[in-house]
């Protein structure tokens, strides 16, 4: 076995094989009852033993890399030699060994296996001993490679292969058994790996030059390196354990760190890094939950900040609806895009996003000051978009912009507030003829209907019907009254549909307008007897042609302004109280009406409470518009909206409870509350005290009663 390089000729091989054969078959030489095979086997055993012992002696003087080098060399020679010997004693392998094993002596092996067993028991185990010199040397080399040194990989590969080969299952010598490899190499290797990457990762993170992106890339690098290591010289069994260990040390141990730093990645929109992070965290349990939580918190935070910024600039009463909506959409765009890009379009992330978004859209710095402000601003923005001559948007972009509004609308909890403001604004657009296009109006209504159902938009639809019916009515009336000397347009609007209120004060119709007024009144009563017409003077407007000036102007004025101006057909100067008596307009409104006319220089107010007609009025334009919204109206309008909303809510809650109880007959308090919230939340988020009050009202009205002895159960009273 020591002169392998010389090889064996075929004839020599044959003669040796024959000698072994003869020895085994010639029973005469045997002195042992177990036969000659056993003698031969024992000799071989002794031979391998002595060879291994001498090799061990040599190896024991070395350690570290030189040890590995020598070990590899000796191992190579030993195994090659053993293979030759195995061939020579093939007869023994074929006859005697199987016979012995059949008898149950599993300690008897094929010759080659015997050689390995000898190596394992008399060399390998002793050398490993307590100090596990061999494995230590291997791990040292791997460690050096991990630190970036070039090492002799073939050395490592051979030694590790020997570990694999030495795993021998006595009962089934032909099947692979990795006991030696697993115990002597894989286990310490795993521990070393854990310690190594624990150290490396901690060091890396602690280094201020590195940020989260660097770490994520580093993980990728490390993981790849370890995968390669398996391919290069480890047994493939180790792949899973190794991967698992790396994930534990590199990802799980730093999951908190990663999630905490996800914020900066989110803020900077680093999609690739986030995707890496997502894929890493998906490998560990609860990893994605942590990330999702962070993500939600970040969305909410970004939203709150954006809203505060809008508020900070302008103050609660001056918040620009468009700025608000733009800020919300910006947050929406920034963060919703990340989900398909980086988070694998994970639906759980979508849910987190939606929840966070809805959280801050409904509860933020602005709603803290004014509860209903969020839906109000969104509705006002929609109004600005849909108005004629909107400067916000080109006509062909209008549809896209409306879709964006709808994106936000879906998150709004108080959809009833939105509807109220929207209805109010639509009413204004319709009566002032300020709609940009009927098509867009219809499109917006159908979008709202898609989200909230037919009932939600029924009133809006009716408003359009009223407007088109009014057009026919006007045409019809004009035809019948062709002798009229003034132009006349009228809108007849259903009281229960339109959110418009008649003036709270009287109004004396100017003499000049009375004929038309009575004529129409008469005409309408003929057509629809029994209907009551209420004139909304506060929403009317007129055009007046001047005849007292050298240049003829057309004044566009509100009916109140008209009433004032018409007084000057008979007088040149009038006091405030004269005007008030003549028009019956409430003083606080009248002063505002006059204010506009004075500012427009039609009237002169040199002395207190006295207004003179300006005979020298001049304007660059022939048509002069004095019809500006009166401030006083705008504020009370907003309050009015909230009042109607609150009233509507009360009835909606009560109606819902009755509907539920009618179906269920009897219900406990908690499930009833849950059911009511579930049924109403598509309109607004009812508070529990609100629901309780509604229940109390219904108990009082005897729609409900508490059942006999259960304090918490209600029954429907038929």
Partner 1 sequence: MPCFSFCFPSHIKHLHSDGDSDTGKQEPEKENEARALKSHNPTVLSVTKYDPKQALALFMRYADSDNPDLIGPEGFEMLCNDAQILMDGAMALILSWQLDAQEMAKLTKDAWTKATSVLKVSSLPQLNVVVRDINDLLILRRPPLQRSGNKNVKESNEPYSRTRYWSYAEDSKKAFQELYTFSFSLAKPQPSRNIDMETAVALWSVLLVPVYPLMSEVLTFITEKATFKAANKDLWNMMLEFCQTVDTNLQGYDSDSAWPTLLDDFVTWKKSKQAS
Contacting residues toward partner 1, per CB under 8 A:
669-670, 689, 692-693, 695-696, 699-702, 706, 711-712, 714
The closest of 572, 576, 578 to 614, measured between CA atoms, is: 572
3-state helix, strand, coil in the chain (%, to 5): 70, 5, 25
> In the complex, what is the shortest distance from the CB of residue 682 to partner 1, in angstroms, rounded to a whole number?
24
> In the complex, what is the shortest distance from the CB of residue 683 to partner 1, in angstroms, rounded to a whole number?
22
Task: Rounding to the nearest 10 degrees, give the CA dihedral for residues 404, 410, 415, 418.
Answer: -10
CB-CB contact of 445 with 405 (8 Å): no
CB-CB contact of 421 with 641 (8 Å): yes
Q: First CA to last CA across the chain, in angstroms?
A: 106
> In the complex, what is the shortest distance from the CB of residue 712 to partner 1, in angstroms, rounded to a whole number?
5
Which of 394, 702 has the CB closer to partner 1? 702
CB-CB contact of 259 with 290 (8 Å): yes
> In the complex, what is the shortest distance from the CB of residue 648 to partner 1, in angstroms, rounded to a whole number?
20
Buried b (16+ CB within 10 A) or exposed e, 193-202: beebbeebbe
Alpha carbon of 7 to those of 1, 12, 20, 75, 570: distances in Å? 10, 10, 19, 18, 139
Which of 24, 676 has the CB closer to partner 1? 676
> In the complex, what is the shortest distance from the CB of residue 650 to partner 1, in angstroms, rounded to a whole number?
13
DSSP secondary structure code for residue 120 in this structure: I
Which of 582, 699 has the CB closer to partner 1? 699
> In the complex, what is the shortest distance from the CB of residue 665 to partner 1, in angstroms, rounded to a whole number?
17
Which of 140, 690 has the CB closer to partner 1? 690
- C-alpha span between 529 and 91 (Å, rounded): 125
Q: DSSP per residue over 436-468, as a string?
A: S-HHHHHHHHHHHHHHH-HHHHHHHHHHHHHHH
- C-alpha span between 70 and 63 (Å, rounded): 10
Under DSSP, is residue 319 helix (H, G, I), strand (E, B) or coil?
A: coil
Alpha carbon of 290 to those of 218, 277, 414: distances in Å? 21, 11, 31
CB-CB contact of 341 with 271 (8 Å): yes
> In the complex, what is the shortest distance from the CB of residue 698 to partner 1, in angstroms, rounded to a whole number?
10
- C-alpha span between 63 and 69 (Å, rounded): 10
> In the complex, what is the shortest distance from the CB of residue 370 to partner 1, in angstroms, rounded to a whole number?
23
CB-CB contact of 584 with 654 (8 Å): no
Which of 658, 699 has the CB closer to partner 1? 699
Which of 323, 706 has the CB closer to partner 1? 706
Which of 315, 689 has the CB closer to partner 1? 689
Residues contacting 34, CB < 8 A, separation 6+: none
Residues contacting 225, CB < 8 A, separation 6+: 146
CB-CB contact of 159 with 142 (8 Å): no
Tokens read off for 426:
């639509």
DSSP secondary structure code for residue 4 in this structure: G
Dihedral angle sign, alpha carbons of residues 507, 512, 514, 517:
negative
Which of 144, 701 has the CB closer to partner 1? 701
Which of 598, 673 has the CB closer to partner 1? 673
Which of 387, 664 has the CB closer to partner 1? 664
The closest of 155, 142, 182, 130 to 75, measured between CA atoms, is: 155
> In the complex, what is the shortest distance from the CB of residue 703 to partner 1, in angstroms, rounded to a whole number?
12
Residues contacting 490, CB < 8 A, separation 6+: 470, 473, 474, 477, 520
> In the complex, what is the shortest distance from the CB of residue 498 to partner 1, in angstroms, rounded to a whole number?
33
Which of 451, 715 has the CB closer to partner 1? 715
Which of 312, 689 has the CB closer to partner 1? 689
Which of 421, 694 has the CB closer to partner 1? 694
> In the complex, what is the shortest distance from the CB of residue 652 to partner 1, in angstroms, rounded to a whole number?
18
> In the complex, what is the shortest distance from the CB of residue 655 to partner 1, in angstroms, rounded to a whole number?
19
Which of 554, 713 has the CB closer to partner 1? 713
Dihedral angle sign, alpha carbons of residues 469, 475, 476, 477:
positive
> In the complex, what is the shortest distance from the CB of residue 689 to partner 1, in angstroms, rounded to a whole number?
5
The closest of 445, 525, 457, 443 to 492, measured between CA atoms, is: 525
Which of 353, 716 has the CB closer to partner 1? 716
> In the complex, what is the shortest distance from the CB of residue 671 to partner 1, in angstroms, rounded to a whole number?
11
- C-alpha span between 30 and 415 (Å, rounded): 105
The closest of 244, 96, 87, 76 to 155, measured between CA atoms, is: 76
DSSP secondary structure code for residue 435 in this structure: B
The closest of 288, 378, 373, 372 to 332, measured between CA atoms, is: 378
Q: Report the phi/psi class of residue 578: left, alpha or beta, with left for phi > 0 and alpha for psi in -120 to 50.
A: alpha
> In the complex, what is the shortest distance from the CB of residue 701 to partner 1, in angstroms, rounded to a whole number?
8
- C-alpha span between 445 and 375 (Å, rounded): 16
> In the complex, what is the shortest distance from the CB of residue 517 to partner 1, in angstroms, rounded to a whole number?
45
> In the complex, what is the shortest distance from the CB of residue 676 to partner 1, in angstroms, rounded to a whole number?
13
> In the complex, what is the shortest distance from the CB of residue 354 to partner 1, in angstroms, rounded to a whole number?
27
Which of 555, 703 has the CB closer to partner 1? 703
Which of 543, 666 has the CB closer to partner 1? 666
Which of 532, 711 has the CB closer to partner 1? 711
């Amino acid at each position: 076995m020591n002169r392998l390089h010389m090889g064996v000729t075929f004839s020599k091989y044959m003669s040796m094989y024959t000698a072994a054969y003869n020895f085994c078959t010639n029973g005469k030489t045997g002195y042992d009852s177990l036969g000659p095979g056993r003698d031969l086997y024992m000799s071989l055993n002794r031979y391998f033993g002595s060879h291994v012992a001498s090799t061990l002696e040599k190896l024991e003087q070395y350690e570290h890399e030189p040890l590995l080098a020598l070990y590899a060399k000796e191992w190579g020679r030993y195994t090659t030699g053993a293979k030759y010997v195995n061939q020579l004693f093939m007869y023994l392998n074929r006859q005697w060994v199987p016979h012995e094993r059949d008898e149950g002596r599993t300690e008897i092996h094929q010759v080659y296996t015997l050689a390995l067993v000898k190596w394992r028991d008399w060399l390998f185990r002793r050398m490993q001993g307590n100090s596990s010199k061999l494995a230590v040397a291997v791990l040292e080399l791997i460690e050096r490679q991990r630190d970036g040194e070039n090492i002799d990989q073939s050395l490592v590969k051979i030694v590790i292969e020997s570990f694999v080969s030495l795993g021998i299952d006595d009962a089934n010598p032909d099947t692979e058994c990795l006991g030696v490899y697993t115990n002597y190499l894989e286990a310490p290797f795993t521990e070393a790996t854990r310690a190594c990457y624990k150290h490396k990762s901690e060091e890396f993170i602690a280094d201020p030059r590195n940020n989260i992106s660097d770490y994520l890339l580093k993980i990728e690098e490390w993981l790849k390196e370890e995968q390669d290591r398996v391919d290069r010289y480890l047994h493939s069994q180790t792949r899973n354990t190794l991967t698992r260990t790396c994930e534990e040390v590199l990802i799980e141990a730093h999951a908190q760190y990663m999630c905490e730093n996800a914020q900066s990645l989110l803020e900077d929109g680093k999609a690739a890094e986030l995707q890496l992070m997502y894929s890493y965290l998906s490998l560990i349990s609860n990893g994605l939950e942590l990330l999702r939580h962070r993500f939600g918190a970040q969305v909410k935070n970004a939203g709150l900040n954006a809203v505060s910024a809008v508020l900070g600039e302008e103050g609660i009463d001056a918040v620009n609806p468009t700025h608000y909506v733009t800020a919300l959409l910006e947050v929406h765009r920034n963060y919703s895009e990340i989900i398909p890009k980086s988070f694998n379009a994970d639906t759980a992330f979508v849910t987190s996003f939606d929840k966070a978004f809805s959280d801050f859209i409904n509860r933020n710095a602005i709603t803290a000051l004014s509860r209903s402000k969020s839906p109000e601003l969104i509705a006002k923005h929609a109004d600005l978009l849909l108005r004629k001559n909107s400067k916000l948007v080109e006509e062909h972009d209008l549809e896209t912009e409306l879709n964006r509004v709808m994106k936000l609308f879906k998150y709004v909890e108080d959809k009833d507030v939105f509807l109220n403001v929207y209805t109010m604004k639509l009413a204004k657009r319709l009566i002032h003829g300020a709609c940009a296009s009927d098509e867009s109006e219809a499109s917006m209504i159908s979008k709202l209907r898609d989200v909230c159902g037919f009932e939600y938009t029924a009133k809006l639809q009716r408003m359009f019907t009223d407007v088109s019916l009014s057009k026919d009515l006007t045409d019809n009336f004009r035809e019948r009254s062709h002798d009229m000397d003034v132009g006349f347009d009228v809108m007849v609007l259903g009281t229960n549909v339109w959110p418009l209120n008649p003036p709270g004060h009287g109004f004396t119709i100017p003499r000049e307008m009375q004929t038309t007024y009575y004529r129409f009144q008469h005409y309408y009563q003929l057509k629809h007897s029994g209907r009551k017409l209420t004139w909304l003077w506060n929403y009317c407007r007129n055009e007046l042609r001047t005849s007292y000036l050298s240049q003829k102007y057309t004044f566009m004025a509100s009916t109140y302004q008209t009433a004032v101006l018409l007084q000057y057909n008979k007088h040149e100067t009038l006091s405030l109280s004269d005007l008030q008596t003549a028009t019956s307009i409430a003083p606080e409104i009248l002063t505002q009406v006059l204010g506009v006319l004075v500012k427009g220089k039609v009237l002169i107010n040199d002395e207190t409470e006295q207004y003179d007609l300006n005979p020298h009025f001049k304007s660059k334009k022939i048509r002069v518009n004095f019809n500006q919204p009166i401030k006083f109206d705008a504020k009370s309008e907003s309050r009015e909206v909230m009042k109607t909303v609150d009233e509507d809510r009360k009835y909606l809650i009560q109606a819902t409870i009755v509907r539920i109880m009618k179906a269920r007959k009897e219900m406990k308090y908690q499930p009833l509350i849950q059911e009511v919230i579930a049924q109403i939340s598509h309109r607004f988020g009812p508070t529990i005290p609100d629901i309780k009050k509604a229940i109390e009202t219904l108990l009082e009205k005897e729609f409900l009663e508490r059942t006999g002895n259960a304090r918490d159960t209600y029954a429907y009273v038929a």
